[in-house]
Amino acid sequence: MGPSRAELVLVAELAAEAERYDDVVSQIKTIVAEFDARLVNDERNLLSIAYKNKTNTLRNSWRIVDTLEKMQASRTAPGTTTRQLALIRQQRKKIERELANVCKDIVKLLEKQLLPAARYGEERVFYSKMRGDYYRYLAEFAHEVEREWYAEESLNAYKHAYKHAMQTLDSGHPTRLGLALNFAVFYHDVRKSPERACHLAKSSFDGRSYAVMSLDSEAPTIRDSLQILQLLKDDLVLWSKEIQ
């Protein structure tokens, strides 16, 4: 007899505390395979945290190596490739492969199992937003045709999530606000359109901040909403300066 669902969740929680995110993913995948693809809130959050940490580490590594590669390339005579530059490029491509594998892994889980089983409302918005996020990460470092395909998949996922959120979630709900923030980042970082990013962020920010701030700021969901609203405000300031 294998471990119970509660035991699998306990091990996943311990793994998250120990920052062993591969183990978290393994436990949640076992729950999906052996029990139910309809995860409860705690299970869903554990999965989200695990993939977020796995990809954040790799994305940060990629940015560092990409910057070093550009610096080395600027020092290298045109038409030549130094040994150092070749090694840096080799490392960047290795990180890209690892990052692509992680992103494709969660996208596959979302598309094949989690989204088809998702309940109407927040759960569907949450998973559709995740799908948009990981296609966005793939688009960030992909090249040419592949980049455009990932960007289009990300856009479609965000649009689906946003439409569903507008129909089912309160305007101050943290999942809806988090979606608006990431969708705006997509327009800024992937589509290179600070105008559209500002429009989306502003439409989500206006009228909601006052409604949220008038509520009990000690409630966990209200704290989450306030944090996201602050991020929206910070991005609006930065992007508005770019437009000016």
CATH number at residue 76: 1.20.190.20
Residue identified by tokens 């954040």 is: 56
Residues 169 and 149 in one domain: yes
Report the alpha-carbon distance of residue 211 to residue 220 in Å, rounded.
Answer: 16
Residues 125 and 229 in one domain: yes
pLDDT tens digits in sequence order for the chain, 244 residues long: 789 999 999 999 999 999 999 999 999 999 999 999 999 999 999 999 999 999 999 999 999 999 999 998 888 777 777 889 999 999 999 999 999 999 999 999 999 999 999 999 999 999 999 999 999 999 999 988 899 999 999 999 999 999 999 999 988 899 999 999 999 999 999 999 999 999 999 888 765 655 555 555 556 678 888 899 899 999 999 999 998 8
What is the predicted pLDDT for the residue at 23?
98
What is the predicted pLDDT for the residue at 214?
54
Residues 63 and 160 in one domain: no
SS3 letters across 6-34 = HHHHHHHHHHHHCCCHHHHHHHHHHHHHH
What is the predicted pLDDT for the residue at 207?
53
What is the predicted pLDDT for the residue at 144?
82
Last residue of a domain, one of 99, 117, 135: 117
Domain count across the chain: 2
Residues 193 and 131 in one domain: yes
Shortest CA distance to 123 belongs to which of 48, 181, 231, 54? 48
What is the predicted pLDDT for the residue at 219?
63
Q: Which domain holds residue 52?
A: 1-117
What is the predicted pLDDT for the residue at 155?
98
- Return the structure tokens found at 150: 């990932």
Residues 125 and 183 in one domain: yes
Residues 56 and 166 in one domain: no
Residue 76, phi-psi category: left (phi > 0), alpha (psi -120 to 50), beta (remainder): beta
- pTM for the whole structure: 0.92
- Return the structure tokens found at 49: 């945290």
Residues 146 and 73 in one domain: no
What is the predicted pLDDT for the residue at 78?
77
Helix 83-109 vs helix 21-34: crossing angle, to nearest 10: 30
Residues 49 and 87 in one domain: yes
What is the predicted pLDDT for the residue at 94?
97
What is the predicted pLDDT for the residue at 218?
55
Residues 76 and 174 in one domain: no
What is the predicted pLDDT for the residue at 210?
52
Residues 212 and 230 in one domain: yes
Last residue of a domain, one of 117, 146, 169: 117
Report the alpha-carbon distance of residue 62 to residue 94 in Å, rounded.
Answer: 9
Residues 236 and 123 in one domain: yes
Last residue of a domain, one of 62, 93, 117: 117
What is the predicted pLDDT for the residue at 70?
92
Q: Name the amino acid, one letter, at 241.
A: K
Residues 86 and 201 in one domain: no
Report the alpha-carbon distance of residue 9 to residue 2 in Å, rounded.
Answer: 13
